[in-house]
Structure 1
Amino acid sequence: MTTPTLFTVDGLLADLRQLIECESPSADLGAVARSADLVASLGAKHLGVEPERITVDGVSHLRWRLGSRDRDTGGRVLVLCHHDTVHPLGTLETMPYDVTDGVLRGPGCFDMLAGLVMAFHAVAALASTDGVTLLVTGDEELGSISSRALIEETAQESSAVLVLEASADGGALKTARKGASMYDVVVTGRAAHAGLEPEKGVNATIEISQQVLAIASLGDPAAGTSVTPTVISAGTTTNTVPGSAVLSVDVRAWTTAEQERVDTAIRALTPALPGATLEIRGGINRPPLEQELAAPLYTRALTVAEKLGLPPLAHAQVGGASDGNFTAGLGIPTLDGLGAVGGGAHTTSEHLYVDRLVDRTQLLHGLIQDLLKEPACL
């Protein structure tokens, strides 16, 4: 039998609409700061305490560390969220907040403003919040450059991490994520007039083309490792031998060993043309969230869902990375995808299903409560 809910659709939607209509594109520090003001206000209303406001390199992050419990005296539960989105300012004009036929649309609704609202409501409804940390970062969509150290520092005192990123298809929880690496391969050649003396040039376009083929060959489909050349730029004018070029590379892998194999190979690249030089920038950004780190928490979530009479829970392995990769990389049990059910993340078709907001919030509330009673362990 379904347990009576502590949560209402109207309450969740009221907060979610405010967040959606306060646009927060990651690269706009002013917009992220305004969003942080709103998040702080909503959080203080629900949790009864102001957050610690942490600004790193101009990016606004918020942390609520509730109660005095620490890892040595029973463990803390870290609820991990972000309030930045990918959609540029002005997106609301063409993609306004809307609920039609049970489907809610609006920039950032699915990834991951709904998860943030669920976190506030779920934590606020606990009989005791002693031992809960809620961390809301402001640059997840840019790779968490300014927040990684904060995430890892906060996670170190936790026995479990619950990530409120949107669910996988149909509401599946995310029990594994690929690690992500990002590189720029910078070629320096020699510019020359393409008509008068092309032989004096070292063509960076030709060099980068050779590197594209070498880099793409590093992928291993059988291991699930993708190495994808993405953005490329070269040259200055149509009548000049290009003197420079830059190639961006996206790498995804299920294991740390595969990440390190590709990293070593990319750093070992050598120029194909005499006179050309290569510089490798970037590297491993997020370690994998390997399934063994999520399995204990997924099992706990299954038990909680069954006790509460909630919809059955599936799980999925996904290629995209999140801040949960960082916490799993520290060896801390981490469960991801606890947020909204819907689809279209990062697109104009982003949406969520309103009728799933309450049961997902119930699941989160029940799982936090369960973990506070009995901390997670591997």
Structure 2
Amino acid sequence: MAFDETPALPATDARLDADAPLDVNALIADLRTLVECESPSSDPDALARSVELVARLGSAHLGVEPERLGIHLRWRLGGPTRVLVLAHHDTVWPLGSLETHPFGIHDGVLRGPGSFDMKTGLAMALHVLASLDDRTGVTLLVTGDEEVGSPSSRALIEDEARGADAAFVLEASADGGALKLERKGTSIYRVLIKGRAAHAGLEPEKGVNALVELAHQVLAVAALGDPELGTTVVPTVAAAGTTRNTVPAEAWFAVDVRARTVAEQERVDAAVRALTPVLPGGTFEIEGGINRPPLEPALSADLFARASRIAEASGLPALIGAAVGGASDGNFTAGVGTPTLDGLGAVGGGAHADDEHVLVDRIADRTALLRALIVDLVATR
């Protein structure tokens, strides 16, 4: 497939309006630089290179150095945080992905590993914040571990969000450019089962079969879902045993839980922890627990209404909203009670997949919307 090496937009699209001269071609150039710096969450060296690149780009655009917090960066642009702009620079793509999925644009579709999730959103944030005349109370937080559950950035995100008027999450949009008004909360478990080994042919009765216990517990866990409430409880990965002729002494399985409400998360958590062994002599322990609280609709409703009014007044495309099962760092900002609007980044599709892509002709209006939202909130003091 051929790609345009130097993509250009029509002159009428290159700048958003007279008050916000944001050069979309320059934004795409920065996006290319970000995409071509591969940054898998699992590779410390790659993340170190990526965080240095983001720090350089951000400093050039914003005129100030960030606070360096390991693989995370924070720009507080004046006063206590009132508007938190949240992005991440890590991706799910392993090193070498550029060889099979090179950056490029063809027929108005931009591709490259991490372009949709979420380096376009990161580039948008840098260009928007650089364009603001008044950045009082605006903070940009760029994290480096979102794709693996934000283990080292969660407290940082929650602390920064507390007391803010709004959190804008630059994750990619839902289908059709929809903003993400509701995200399910996630819980992650690993059930470790202990049995007793024995020879499977000579004296199996002397063993305690951890694989059989696993089967009982997998069925019990799977039954905890509630389709009517949108709660899913899914056993996902399992392992047991050592050899074909040995009663398994150990087994384990992983569980993925998604729930729309905190109450459902807590119900499932209590039920998982209340599981008891079925086989005499068997034992097990539970690792993990509630990982991300849900982004409930009440935390996004007012901001979505505000964004919709701004979009209409500015002649931008009408906004639509969606509820999604996937989680983001917006779950954490909502979890501490901060009004949160998610999915403000790229319009496209294929997150984490071979067809990951961004629609170039939507970058301008999404960037304009983000800028107008921040300007509106900063002006409301």
TM range (shorter): over 0.9
Deviation at 1:8, TM superposition (A): 2.6
The answer to whether 1:131 aligns with 2:142 is no
Alpha-carbon distance between aligned partners in 2 of 1:236 and 1:113, rounded to the nearest angstrom? 43
Match of residue 271 from structure 2: 265
Q: What is the aligned-residue identity percentage?
A: 66
**Aligned to 2:300, what secondary structure does the other structure show?**
helix
Provide the TM-score with structure 2 as the length reference.
0.94
Aligned to 1:62: 73
**Code of the aligned partner of 1:64:** W
Q: Is the 8 A contact 2:163 2:338 kept in 1?
A: no
Instruction: Write out per-residue CA displacement over residues 254-286 of structure 1, whole angstroms, 9 at most, x where no aligned residue.
Output: 000000000000000001111110101100000
Asked if the contact 1:9–1:354 (Cα under 8 Å) also holds between the matched residues in 2, the reply is: no
In the alignment, which residue of structure 2 is the partner of 1:331? 337
Tell me the distance in 2 between the aligned counterparts of 1:196 and 1:30: 52
2:61 is equivalent to residue 46 of structure 1: yes
Q: Alpha-carbon deviation of 1:30? A: 1.2
Give deviations 1:317-374, integer Å, cap 9, x for gaps.
1111100101101111000000000001011111110111111011000000001112
Q: Does 1:82 align with 2:88?
A: yes
Aligned runs of 1:1-378 on 2, under 5 Å? 3-4=17-18, 6-55=21-70, 60-68=71-79, 70=80, 76-374=82-380
- CA deviations on 1:278-309 (whole Å, 9 max, x unpaired) are 10110000001010110111011111111221
Question: 8 Å contact 1:3–1:309 — kept in the other structure?
Answer: no
- Partner-residue secondary structure (3-state), 1:182: strand
Q: What is the CA distance between 1:157 and its match in structure 2?
A: 3.9
Secondary structure of the corresponding residue to residue 171 of structure 2: coil
| Cα distance in structure 2, aligned partners of 1:279 and 1:143 | 22
Distance (whole Å) between structure 2 residues aligned to residue 374 and residue 250 of structure 1: 41
Question: What secondary structure sits across from 2:51 in the alignment?
Answer: helix
Give how far 1:200 is off: 1.6
- The answer for unaligned runs of 5 or more in structure 1 is none
Q: Deviation at 1:49?
A: 0.5
Partner Cα separation in structure 2 for residue 196 and residue 102 of structure 1: 68
Residues 138-184 of structure 1: per-residue CA shift (max 9 Å, x gap): 10000001100100111114211000000011111011100000000
SS in 1 for 2:110: strand
How many residue pairs align between the two structures? Answer: 365
1:210, distance to aligned residue in structure 2 (A):
0.6
CA distance in 2 between partners of 1:195 and 1:374 (Å): 76
The amino acid that maps onto 1:352 is V
Letter paired with 1:13: I
**CA deviation string 1:94-143 (max 9, x = no partner):** 11111111111111000001000000011111111121100000100000
Distance across 1 between alignment mates of 2:357 and 2:54: 21
